[in-house]
């Protein structure tokens, strides 16, 4: 049995290690500087670096790296060994405060969206002391932010850190009205991570999975997820062994891996950590995804993090549970026992509603990706329409306030299961509506639109900034209000906000067509595709928002949008090319071989004087010709899209033309696949992949 408390955080340079290894004065000064957001003195950095190096060497490290999160959405690292030449041809292991604080990786091959020319390829990494250093593969990893020589932000971490600071400032302003004073405001996030596991040997045989992370062909299997027998089902031994090792490795890094279970689709699973401050949650989610992939490999499996690896069954998302608290631990989204009289909560809630309504477009844009487009609006994920679920109780309170009426709570708080043997359960005051993109779940908001492979940094940076903006607005509205009149003023403001923004509240089933029609009537946006959604990011009001709060400059926003378009276009380009590759190398030869054998049989029959029945032969022949023709059409539109230099315009072409042609080719390809006899199948089928892990 693993001693988890001993194991936990053993590879993280966390508070416990710092306390043990740093002189008390240094530790205190470090904490103070970090809390105040001040730069560390050179002397302090030197002491810190020395302690870190000692600790790393004791754990067998030979290298260190500035670990950063460029715009690729994954992490980057360049390993430097600790060696320094000494007398007599020997080396010593050295690591200075300067090495800790600043690094200089060549930045020329990271996406910059036009911010940086290759000849000025220098990039800088700067230590983020708010996240713990950790050890991975005998390498000391130092979490860092990444920017260009000219100071332009080139990563996902910096805007997130800035948004935390912005929210800290704005939330304190509003809290002060209620006489609440805190050292620091903390954004807490618990990202639930969904993923698929497939057998590695089968995976290797599918070019689409290898190149694109999702299947581009694949006829439906007789059994999908309709029996609902996988969700929370018994975990298979190989998967269990994987989950155990994953938990252990994550625990060592200080990741609060908590819940492992089977998800709805066959071969789909989920890992949820316990929430933590968002900058740490972001680092940890990246580590989680990385370790899922590498540990799966060790167990002969491949972890698919794509949003829609298989058509016809659920895809994978990442539920971003988001709340705001004081550093002392007071959750500012906690409604308490008497919601109607909890002015602070009601005001924060109203500010969230206003923010989501006003910035629904940019919230949608932060989750836009080629992969996520397949998931949003399918039957397993919220539609591309942003709305807020509040549940009956909170909606009742807000309605009462809007009607200037007192509110009477009428819900039962305890649920009795049976006589005396089973204890009564405490009931959450919100039902778990699973179809809402942004649901209030007791004391946090669960944003469910995020894609499974995306970094959570961008979405949370925007969530924090939007909320900071609304709190600033609220603070202005309540300026000059005396404490005695505060409650009345808050109720009036909550009423005003609710009446202006209640269209964003939707408590019904978000997966239905009725909601899509209703949302349109309400004037809510339905940005269905990535190219459509990305345009929202550069809308003036959305640029103003981030510029005002010091998150991005205008050109940084533009560069990010450019990168996202590029990423979308490249993804579709690779997918289309892979499809054509599979068509020509796999599907066509397989169909031709089967056709040849069928023709030979028919000819043999004819030679024997039997009139051959060619119904099936004709059907397969027709389907094959259709598939080839669809492939030719795809080639044509792909060529046209590749020629468009403007990324935004290319995005529209890729979406409207290339993706449409891919869908058509997929349909005809799948029709052919479904007709092939087992011995002719060119690659493992959906059945093989989804039910391939049985040991």
Question: Given the complex with ligand ADP, which of 260 and 642 has the nearer CB atom?
Answer: 260
Number of residues that bind ligand ADP (CB under 6 A): 17
Q: How far apart are CA 570 and CA 676, in angstroms?
A: 32
Q: Taking the complex as a whole, how short is the minimal distance between the CB of residue 432 and Mg ion, in angstroms?
A: 8
Site for ligand ADP in 412-441 (CB under 6 A): 441
CB of 256 vs ligand ADP, minimal distance in Å: 8
Q: Spell out, one character per residue from 260 to 289, where the chain touches Mg ion: x when CB under 5 A holds, - when not.
A: ------------------------------
Q: Specify the residue, 375 or 655, whose C-beta has the smaller distance to ligand ADP.
A: 375
Among 176, 274, 517, 574, which residue sits at the site for ligand ADP (rule: CB under 6 A)? 274
Give me Rg for the CA atoms of the chain. 28
User: Using CA atoms, how far apart are residues 90 and 83, in angstroms rounded to an integer?
Assistant: 9
CB of residue 195 to Mg ion, shortest distance in Å: 14
- Which tokens sit at 85? 């030449």
Closest approach of ligand ADP to the CB of residue 82, in Å? 36
Closest CA to 654 of 666, 639, 665: 639
Cβ count within 10 A of residue 630: 21
Query: Which of the stretches 8-16, 39-47, 185-193, 670-678 binds Mg ion when contact is defined by CB under 5 A?
Result: 185-193
Measured between alpha carbons, how far is 269 from 264 in angstroms, rounded to an integer?
8
| The entry of ligand ADP, Mg ion, none that residue 62 binds, CB within 5 to 8 Å by partner kind | none
Determine the interface stretch with ligand ADP among 99-107, 268-276, 306-314, 451-459 (rule: CB under 6 A): 268-276
Compute the C-alpha angle 315/432/243, nearest 5°: 50
Residue 281 or 302: the one with the smaller Cβ distance to ligand ADP is 281
Point out which span in 139-147, 315-323, 336-344, 633-641 binds Mg ion (CB under 5 A). Answer: 315-323
d(CA 495, CA 162) in angstroms, rounded, equals 31
Q: What is the dihedral of CA 480, 476, 175, 274, to 10 degrees?
A: 170
Strand ranges inside 353-506, DSSP E: 388-389, 414-415, 425-426, 438-440, 445-451
Q: How far is the CB of 194 from ligand ADP (least distance, A)?
A: 11
272 binds, among ligand ADP, Mg ion, none (CB under 5 to 8 A by kind): ligand ADP
Q: Which residue has the tokens 């990893």?
A: 141
The one of Mg ion, ligand ADP, none whose footprint includes residue 190, by CB under 5 to 8 A per kind, is ligand ADP
Between 192 and 208, name the residue whose CB sits nearer to ligand ADP: 192
**Residue among 113, 129, 273, 317 that touches ligand ADP (CB under 6 A):** 273
If the CB atoms of residues 429 and 624 are measured against Mg ion, the closer one turns out to be 429
**Alpha-carbon gap, residue 345 to 364, rounded angstroms:** 25
Q: Name the residue whose CB lies closest to Mg ion.
A: 319
β-strands 139-148, 63-67 pairing: parallel
Which of ligand ADP, Mg ion, none is residue 445 near (CB under 5 to 8 Å by kind)?
none
In this chain, which of 215, 323, 530, 668 binds ligand ADP, going by CB under 6 A?
323
319 is an interface residue for Mg ion by CB under 5 A: yes
Residue 441, contacted partner among ligand ADP, Mg ion, none, CB below 5-8 A by kind = ligand ADP
CA distances from 79 to 28, 49, 93, 140 (A): 30, 16, 14, 9
The contacts of residue 350 (CB under 8 Å, 6+ apart) are 398, 474, 493, 494, 497, 498
Closest CA to 461 of 371, 578, 588, 551: 551
Question: Quick one: which of 46, 51, 79 has its CA closest to 63?
Answer: 79
Place of tokens 């639930």: 192
Are the C-beta atoms of 561 and 542 separated by less than 8 Å? Answer: no
Site of interaction with ligand ADP (CB under 6 A) = 188-190, 192, 272-275, 319, 321-323, 331, 441, 443-444, 446
Binding site for Mg ion (CB under 5 A): 192, 319
């Amino acid at each position: 049995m693993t001693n988890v408390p001993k194991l936990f955080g053993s590879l993280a340079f966390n508070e416990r290690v710092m306390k043990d290894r740093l002189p008390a004065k240094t530790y205190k000064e470090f904490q103070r500087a970090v809390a105040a957001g001040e730069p560390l003195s050179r002397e302090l950095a030197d002491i810190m670096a020395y302690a870190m190096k000692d600790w790393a060497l004791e754990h067998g490290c030979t290298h260190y790296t500035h670990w950063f999160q460029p715009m690729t959405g994954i992490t980057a690292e360049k390993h430097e060994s600790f060696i320094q030449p000494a007398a007599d041809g020997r080396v010593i292991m050295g690591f200075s405060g300067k090495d800790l604080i600043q690094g200089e990786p060549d930045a020329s091959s990271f996406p910059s969206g036009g911010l940086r020319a290759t000849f000025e390829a220098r990039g800088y990494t700067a230590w983020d002391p708010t996240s713990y250093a950790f050890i991975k593969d005998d390498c000391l990893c130092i979490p860092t932010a990444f920017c260009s020589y000219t100071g332009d932000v080139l990563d996902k971490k910096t805007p997130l850190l800035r948004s935390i600071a912005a929210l800290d400032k704005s939330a304190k302003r509003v809290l002060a009205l209620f006489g609440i004073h805190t050292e620091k405001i903390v954004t807490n996030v618990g990202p639930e991570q969904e993923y698929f596991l497939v057998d590695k040997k089968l995976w290797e045989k599918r070019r689409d999975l290898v190149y694109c992370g999702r299947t581009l062909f694949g006829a439906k299997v007789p059994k999908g997820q309709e029996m609902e027998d996988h969700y929370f089902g018994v975990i298979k031994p190989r998967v269990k062994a994987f989950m155990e090792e994953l938990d252990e490795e994550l625990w060592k890094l200080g990741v609060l891996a908590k819940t492992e279970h089977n998800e709805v689709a066959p071969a789909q699973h989920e890992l949820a950590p316990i929430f933590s401050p968002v900058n740490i949650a972001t680092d940890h989610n990246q580590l989680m995804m990385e370790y899922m992939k590498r540990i799966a490999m060790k167990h002969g499996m491949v972890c698919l993090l794509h949003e829609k690896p298989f058509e016809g069954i659920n895809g994978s998302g990442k539920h971003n549970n988001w709340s705001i608290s004081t550093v002392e631990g007071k959750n500012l989204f906690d409604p308490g026992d008497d919601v109607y009289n909890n002015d602070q909560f009601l005001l924060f809630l109203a500010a969230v509603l206003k923010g989501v309504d006003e910035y629904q477009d940019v919230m949608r844009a932060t989750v836009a990706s080629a992969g996520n487009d397949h998931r949003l609006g399918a039957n397993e994920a919220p539609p591309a329409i942003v709305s807020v679920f509040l549940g009956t109780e909170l909606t009742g309170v807000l309605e009462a306030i809007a009607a200037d009426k007192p509110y009477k709570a009428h819900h039962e708080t305890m649920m009795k299961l049976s006589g005396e043997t089973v204890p009564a359960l405490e009931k959450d005051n919100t039902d778990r509506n699973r179809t809402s993109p942004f649901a209030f779940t007791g004391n946090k908001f669960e944003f469910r639109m995020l894609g499974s492979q995306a970094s959570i940094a961008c979405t949370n940076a925007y969530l924090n900034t939007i909320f900071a903006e609304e709190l600033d607005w609220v603070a202005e509205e309540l300026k000059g209000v005396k404490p005695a009149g505060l409650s009345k003023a808050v109720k009036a403001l909550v009423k005003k906000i609710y009446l202006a923004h209640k269209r964003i509240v939707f408590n019904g089933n978000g997966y239905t067509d009725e909601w899509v029609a209703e949302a349109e009537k309400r004037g809510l946006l339905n940005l269905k595709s990535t190219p459509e959604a990305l345009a929202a990011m550069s809308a003036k009001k959305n640029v103003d928002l981030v510029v005002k709060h010091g998150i991005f400059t205008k050109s940084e926003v533009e560069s990010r949008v450019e990168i996202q378009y590029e990423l979308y276009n490249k993804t579709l380009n690779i997918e289309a090319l892979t499809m054509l590759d599979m068509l020509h190398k796999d599907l066509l030869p397989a169909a031709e071989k089967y056709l040849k054998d069928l023709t030979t049989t028919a000819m043999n029959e004819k030679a024997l004087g039997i009139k051959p029945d060619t119904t099936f032969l004709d059907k397969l022949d027709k389907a094959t010709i259709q598939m080839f023709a669809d492939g030719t059409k795809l080639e044509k539109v792909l060529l046209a899209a590749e020629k468009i230099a403007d990324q935004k315009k290319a995005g529209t072409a890729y979406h409207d033309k290339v993706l449409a042609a891919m869908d058509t080719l997929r349909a005809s390809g799948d029709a052919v696949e479904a007709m092939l006899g087992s011995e002719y199948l060119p690659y493992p089928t959906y059945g093989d992949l989804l039910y391939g892990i049985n040991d």
